[in-house]
């Protein structure tokens, strides 16, 4: 395979990928700026791609399946899927330069019989598939910014039982940096919370699940990842009007939150939040949000188990997956210990010590991959506060 002096070949997973030479697209501080490159390749998204491979090995591995990488950039994600999981697929990008790279990379990896490059607008391609009867088992949506403009067409294209991977990099609106945008794009009031990253993922999931339900598709998030500037969710999709109703009814609801004390909880009915916070103030009510689990324990542990077969998976991905598997056991937003201890006016014990103490007391507790200061626990607010206070007293006496 020939390539130009302005290009280089990198390796990621089992894939060899021709990309523009990084040295031309570095900021003065040496950091690579993928948005400046003629085709988008971001080394920081290796975690997202590693998890895509591991997820698909668990849910589709060993089957003859068909996938669409609808916003493929260099094609690296789809090429890794083909090499590390299997299946056949379409790698699509509207940008002719991305199409050029994707074609070259398919050839470089000797995948011409299994992968085909397309140069279409993603919604047009996915909507056309519905008419032509081509039914993907997995669709990947990895855009710049919000995934919302791509969700309906991706959903419509899916088979009866299929999977959907979605990235959102609009973490500002999702975590309430721009409340007006949050309301317009994600149909929820919001305020700044101590667990803003989990809020972002629960808001994204509920919004996509609501759109799916309108198309009589039931969506269940199986893996949720929040890393640096992006949220990535892998869903299971089932075509069923009854299931779609049940999912929305059971798994979307509202969050009540006390801004002074950071007490919180989920509720089905916002009118039911008539109670007061422990300092006497009124909780705010936000939503709709996803209130069921956002990580499936079985899928997370199977993904962890399958890492042994893939020695090239990065150490970052291994570490994140280990935490994902632990935190999947608790369906409650994490508490930021630094915030809670500052409210309680006590010294902050280490997250590891708090988790150990909670576990000794019989609670399920875990770190969260979303925030190093976060702790997840099956204990309620009052119990957590007591644990923190007793640890702080032990520390000072
Ligand atoms: C974030 S990059 C994709 C990165 C790639 N999935 C990866 O893992 O490296 C987003 C890509 O979407 C393409 N794109 C943007 N709008 C599009 C559209 N409406 N239809 C198809 N491709 C589009 C861009 O050209 C860009 O290559």
- The string of pLDDT tens digits covering residues 349-358 is 999 999 999 9
Element (H, E) at 226: strand 217-227
What average pLDDT score do residues 309-323 get?
96
Confidence grade of residue 390 (pLDDT, cut at 50, 70, 90): very high
Give nearest CA residue, ligand 1 atom 26: 73
368, pLDDT greater than 90: yes
Task: Using most ligand atoms within 8 A of CB, pick from 143, 165, 232 the residue to mutate for ligand 1.
Answer: 143
Q: What is the pTM of this model?
A: 0.96
Q: What is the pLDDT of residue 3?
A: 66
Residue among 91, 75, 9 at smallest CA distance from 40: 75
Whether residue 40 has its Cβ less than 6 Å from ligand 1: yes
40, pLDDT greater than 70: yes
396, pLDDT greater than 80: no
Q: What is the pLDDT of residue 24?
A: 79
Domain ranges of the chain: 7-290, 297-396
Looking at CATH, the fold of the domain delimited by 7-290 is given as: Rossmann fold (3.40.50)
**Measured between alpha carbons, how far is 256 from 81 in angstroms, rounded to an integer?**
40
Residue among 234, 231, 235, 204 at smallest CA distance from 219: 235
For the chain, the C-alpha Rg in angstroms (whole number) is 22
Q: What is the pLDDT of residue 395?
A: 60
321, pLDDT greater than 60: yes
Report the range of poorest mean pLDDT among 20-34, 179-193, 295-309. 20-34
Give nearest CA residue, ligand 1 atom 25: 95
CA atoms within 13 A on the CB side of 331: 14
Burial of 216 (0-12, 13-18, 19+ CB in 10 A): middle
> 350 vs 12, 253, 367, CA distance in Å?
35, 32, 11
Judge: domain 297-396, CATH 3.30.56.70.
yes
């Amino acid at each position: 395979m020939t390539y130009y002096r302005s290009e280089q070949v990198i390796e990621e997973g089992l894939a060899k990928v021709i990309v523009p030479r990084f040295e031309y697209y570095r900021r003065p501080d040496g950091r690579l700026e993928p948005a400046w490159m003629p085709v988008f390749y971001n080394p920081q998204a290796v975690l997202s791609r590693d998890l895509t491979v591991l997820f698909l090995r668990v849910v589709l591995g060993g089957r003859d399946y068909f996938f669409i990488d609808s916003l493929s950039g260099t094609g690296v994600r789809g090429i890794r899927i083909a090499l590390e999981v299997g299946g056949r697929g379409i790698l699509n990008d509207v940008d002719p330069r991305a199409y050029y790279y994707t074609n070259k990379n398919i050839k470089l990896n000797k995948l011409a019989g299994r992968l085909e490059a397309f140069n279409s607008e993603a919604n047009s391609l996915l909507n056309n598939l519905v008419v032509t009867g081509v039914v993907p088992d997995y669709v990947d949506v990895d855009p710049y910014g919000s995934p919302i403009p791509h969700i309906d067409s991706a959903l419509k294209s899916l088979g009866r039982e299929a999977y959907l991977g979605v990235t959102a990099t609009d973490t500002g609106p999702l975590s309430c940096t721009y409340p007006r945008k949050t309301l317009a794009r994600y149909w929820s009031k919001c305020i700044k919370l101590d667990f803003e990253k989990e809020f972002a993922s629960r808001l994204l999931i509920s919004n996509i699940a609501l759109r799916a339900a309108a198309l009589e598709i039931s969506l269940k998030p199986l893996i949720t990842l929040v890393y640096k500037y992006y949220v990535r969710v892998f869903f299971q999709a089932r075509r069923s009007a009854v299931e779609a109703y049940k999912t929305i009814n059971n798994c979307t609801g509202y969050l009540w939150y006390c801004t002074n004390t950071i007490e919180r909880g989920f509720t089905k009915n916002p009118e039911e939040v008539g109670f007061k916070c422990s300092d006497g103030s009124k909780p705010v009510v936000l939503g709709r949000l996803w209130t069921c689990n956002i990580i499936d324990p079985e899928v997370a542990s199977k993904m962890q188990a399958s890492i042994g077969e893939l020695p090239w998976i990065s150490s970052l991905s291994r570490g994140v997956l280990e935490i994902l598997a632990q935190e999947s056991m608790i369906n409650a937003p994490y508490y930021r210990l630094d915030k809670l201890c500052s409210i309680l006016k006590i010294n902050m014990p280490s997250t590891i010590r708090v988790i150990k103490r909670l576990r000794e007391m019989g609670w399920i507790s875990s770190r969260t991959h979303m925030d190093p200061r976060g702790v997840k626990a099956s204990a309620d607010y009052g119990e957590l506060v007591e644990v923190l206070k007793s640890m702080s007293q032990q520390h000072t006496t």
